[in-house]
Amino acid sequence: MKTPSISNKLSAHPRESSALPYRSSARTARGFALFNCHLATTVLLLATASAHADALDSPADSEPRWLAGDHHIHSHFSASWDEKTDPPTPILAGDAIYPIPLNARMARQHGLSWMVTTDHGGPHHSKFNLERAYPELLRSRKEVPEVVQFYGMEFDTPGADHASLIIPYTHDEADRLYDLESRFAKWEPWPEDPSWDREPRMLEALRVMRALPARPVVIANHPSRSATGLGEYGLDKPSELRDWNDTAPEVAVGMAGAPGHQAEALKGDGSINRNAARGYYIHYPTHGGFDQMTARLGGFWDSMLGEGRHWWITANSDSHINWRKDGGDFWPGEYSKTYVWSAPNYDDILQGIREGRVFVTIGDLISELDLVARANGREAKTGETLVVASETDVEIEIRFLDPTTKNHHGDNPSVRRVDLIGGNVGGPVSDRNADTNPTTRVMARFTSEIWKRDGAYRVMTYRIENVTANTYLRVRGTNGKELEPKPDPPGEDPWSDLWFYSNPIFLSIR
């Protein structure tokens, strides 16, 4: 089997004249080590890649289940940059500080079955990524085999904010990421070139990704972190996310519903910083720990679903530096989890994300969530479509598992309420920046007085009579009393306000 090739590509790649200033991190004082690329690194890469290629042929566990993961994790290869050199020299651990194997061990410790290493870039970071980060990822896979570890990056998205770029697990995964980063990441070129930071360049990148035999997945990270108000978006505009999804609907599949940096308000001694913004959303806050694009009932996410788009949400840690070390982050899996219904292997996990077989939770509020729609002997689950004749009655079942164990704060939070939310699917909107769906409504609210118990599970049912319109259905739940998630005040303890969300089911009228 072919091993990743790095010769020639490292020193010569056609580069276009363009760029905008790369983003240096504010956390540059931690863990400095100068970049020094040795030939031995190349030898290590090729040697370990051979074992990696053999592993691709090993049999996979085929039993699907809910697998928790995190698609946005930084290692010490998220560098800062020494601007005294030309080009700038990457400084190891200048932004995030942990080696990849440590991230994997902490992911395992906090209950994750899969993760994605997503370091962000800078001038010629693609070479640094390939020569330094990839060999360490291969070593991490051997040291922590219990965790499925994808290769990826936090893509410096042209014309927008950041996105998780998840590369399929193949014999040439290193070449694929190197090619994409070196050609399209907006902070990659040196000298800087503003023309690289334009949306058409992102659409070109998506067309390239779409044409690959093994297509990656792109998820917009912290999409409203630069927003200045409710519906007043910054770097990620609704029209751009629609453009991504239109260009490559099986690549650009969604956005982070619950962003990382949720530990911003926690000091290292466990006390609260009363001025800190949850998720580092300093201009306009999160709602219940979720981005406004997700949390606002009848908002942007509902407008996308109302077009019939397969646009999914996820959650992640965005781990750089743990809060115990005065960072603003939880360990992977310590607080946020993205659950995928999948067999524990690379292909099925990635396909599960692509197909929306996903629910998300924070604070380990729940550990399983099944949303099922049934009619005439057929059924659809999260991420799927149930085709029914007009005027058919549809039975909805919601089943969740509220763990009896304590979360990583030592709490055992309980679900207080579950909401079934629905809206009409009316097809494409004329306004590409539309961010509302007036048909969205809470169809039913369930509390402990209403749901039933089935062993350890809570079960609730709802009957939708005489369905005559294309519809989507989704579920959310909370441990709190708020009927709608309110803006999170500065200094809010993230463990006190917990929510979970499912991705939707679609009902299509035949």
Topology at the third CATH level for domain 63-509: TIM Barrel (3.20.20)
Tokens at residue 189, please? 């070129």
Contact 407, 413 (CB under 8 A): yes
Confidence of residue 62 (pLDDT cuts 50, 70, 90): confident
Predicted confidence at residue 36, as pLDDT, reads 35
CA distances for 157 relative to 147, 154, 244, 318, angstroms: 27, 9, 11, 16
Which stretch of 56-70, 184-198, 245-259, 335-349 has the lowest confidence by average pLDDT? 56-70
120 vs 181: CA distance, rounded Å: 10
In the chain, where the domains are located? 63-509
Residue 208 three-state SS: helix
Q: What is the pLDDT of residues 455-478, one digit of tens each?
A: 999 999 999 999 999 999 999 999
Q: What is the dihedral of CA 352, 155, 220, 480, to 10 degrees?
A: 90
H/E element, 135:
helix 134-143
Is the predicted pLDDT of residue 10 greater than 80, yes or no?
Answer: no
Q: What is the pLDDT of residues 148-163, one digit of tens each?
A: 999 999 999 999 999 9
Is the predicted pLDDT of residue 313 greater than 70, yes or no?
Answer: yes
In DSSP terms, 378 is beta-bridged to 375
Q: What percent of the chain stands above pLDDT 90?
A: 87
Is the predicted pLDDT of residue 184 greater than 50, yes or no?
Answer: yes
Predicted confidence at residue 445, as pLDDT, reads 98
Predicted confidence at residue 60, as pLDDT, reads 52
Q: What is the DSSP string of 420-434?
A: EEEEE-----S-TT-
In DSSP terms, 433 is beta-bridged to none
Q: What is the pLDDT of residues 229-278, one digit of tens each?
A: 999 999 999 999 999 999 999 999 999 999 999 999 999 998 999 999 99
Sign of the torsion angle spanned by Cα atoms 71, 72, 73, 78: positive
Q: What is the pLDDT of residues 102-137, one digit of tens each?
A: 999 999 999 999 999 999 999 999 999 999 999 999
In DSSP terms, 34 is beta-bridged to 91
The angle subtended at Cα 131 by Cα 125 and Cα 132, nearest 5°, is 85
Tokens at residue 54, please? 């053999």
Predicted confidence at residue 61, as pLDDT, reads 65
